[in-house]
């Protein structure tokens, strides 16, 4: 990571320490593993919650998700500004990702939701509500991919959903990518 990019991350961390809650952005390895959980062949929007400086966004683009399919929801103002400059063709909204539905175009299908939010900072009821709504808004069976530094799942999986995890050692601190999926509705 360049010194300039790390400086931008540190500025965001200082302005919103509890919201950012990480010493560095995700490493390229971690970003690629997160993006690798998204199937570019599934139609619809890919929504990224808490994109920070855009390292996972970049990996999603490299994975083959076209710019017009991406929607980013970022609370920290300096990160939202940075993301708009870095990805001019991507829709960037500054706001609360817990309320993600209000940033989605009405009726647009969603293919996957990817989150770098510091979920463990939120009350359990908010986490459970976010996961449930994130899966329910998807038509093709839901996919919610969550980055976490904890060894425990950030949300206990509910009935009717599956959970898998990928540990990622090549990151500081070591992380887990939690992949929640729900079956295709009949």
Please, how many CA atoms are within 13 Å of residue 80, restricted to the half-sphere of its CB? 17
For the segment 153-182, give every residue that binds ligand SAM (CB under 6 A): none
Alpha-carbon span 69 to 91, nearest angstrom: 9
Stretch touching ligand SAM by CB under 6 A, among 37-45, 61-69, 110-118, 158-166:
110-118
CB atoms within 10 A of CB 89: 9
Q: Measured from the CB of residue 186, what is the shortest distance to ligand SAM in angstroms?
A: 33
Q: Is 16 exposed, middle or buried (0-12, 13-18, 19+ CB in 10 A)?
A: middle
Binding mask 33-72 for ligand SAM (x = CB under 6 A): ----------------xxxx--xx----------------
**Which of residues 118, 141, 153, 157 is near ligand SAM by CB under 6 A?**
118
User: Which of 26, 138, 171, 179 touches ligand SAM (CB under 6 A)?
Assistant: 26
User: Cα–Cα distance between 113 and 121 in angstroms, integer?
Assistant: 19
Please state the φ and ψ torsions of residue 64, each to the nearest 5 degrees.
110, 10
By the criterion CB under 6 A, which residues form the site for ligand SAM?
Answer: 16, 19-22, 25-26, 49-52, 55-56, 73-76, 79, 96-98, 116-118, 147
């Amino acid at each position: 990571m360049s010194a300039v990019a790390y400086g931008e991350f540190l500025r965001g961390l200082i302005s919103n320490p509890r919201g950012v809650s990480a010493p560095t952005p995700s490493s390229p390895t971690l970003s690629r593993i997160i993006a690798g959980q998204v199937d570019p062949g599934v139609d619809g929007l890919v929504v990224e919650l808490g994109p920070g400086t855009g390292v996972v966004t970049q990996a999603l683009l490299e994975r083959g998700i076209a710019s017009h399919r991406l929607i980013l929801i970022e609370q920290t103002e300096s990160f939202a500004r940075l993301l708009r400059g870095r990805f001019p063709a991507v829709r960037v909204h500054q706001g609360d990702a817990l309320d993600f539905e209000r940033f989605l175009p009405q009726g647009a299908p969603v293919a996957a939701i990817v989150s770098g939010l510091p979920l463990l900072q939120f009350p359990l009821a908010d986490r459970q509500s976010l996961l449930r709504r994130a899966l329910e808004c998807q038509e093709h069976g839901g996919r919610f991919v969550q980055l976490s530094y904890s060894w425990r799942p950030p949300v206990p999986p509910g009935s009717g959903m599956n959970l898998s995890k990928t540990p990622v050692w090549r990151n500081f601190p070591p992380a887990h990518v939690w992949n929640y999926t729900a079956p295709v509705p009949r």
